[in-house]
Amino acid sequence: MHSSCNLIKSNNTSVKGDIEIVTECVVTEEEQHFQEIENNQIKSYEVIGASILDKARKDSLVNYGFRLPSAYDNRPLKFEEFEDRINQVVFVSATPAEYEKEHGIAAICPATMTLPKQRLMEICKNAKEYKDIQMNTKSLEKNNEQVNTSEKLKAKLVGINLEGPFISPDRVGAQNPEYVQKPDAEMLQELIDESGNMVKLVTIAPERGGAIECISKLYDKVRFSVGHTMANYDEATLAYESGAKHATHLYNAMTGLNHRNPGVVGAARDAKNVTAELICDGVHIHPSVVRATFSMFGSDRVILISDSMRACGMPDGESELGGQVVIKKGNEARLVTGELAGSVTNVYGCMVKAIEFGIPIADAIKAATYNPAKAIGILDEFGTIEIGKKPGFVLVNEDFSINQVL
DSSP 8-state class, residue 343: B
Q: Are strands 324-329 and 317-321 parallel, antiparallel or unpaired?
A: antiparallel
Say how far apart CA 331 and CA 138 lie, in whole Å.
36
Report cis status (omega within 30 of 0) of the bond before 165. Answer: yes
307 is catalytic: yes
Q: What is the C-alpha separation between 322 and 320, in angstroms, rounded?
A: 7
Q: What is the DSSP string of 196-255?
A: TS-EEEEEE-TTSTTHHHHHHHHTTTSEEEE-S----HHHHHHHHHHT--EESSTTTTS-
Rounded Cα distance between 308 and 119, Å, is 20
What is the side-by-side strand order in the sheet with 160-162? 160-162, 199-204, 223-226, 246-247, 275-279, 302-305
Provide the 8-state DSSP code for 154: S
Choice among 132, 170, 307, 363 that is catalytic: 307
Q: Strand, helix or coil at 183?
A: coil
Decide if 97 contacts 157 (C-beta within 8 A): yes
What residues pair up with 221 in beta bridges, in sequence order? Answer: none
Q: Active-site residues: which are they?
A: 307
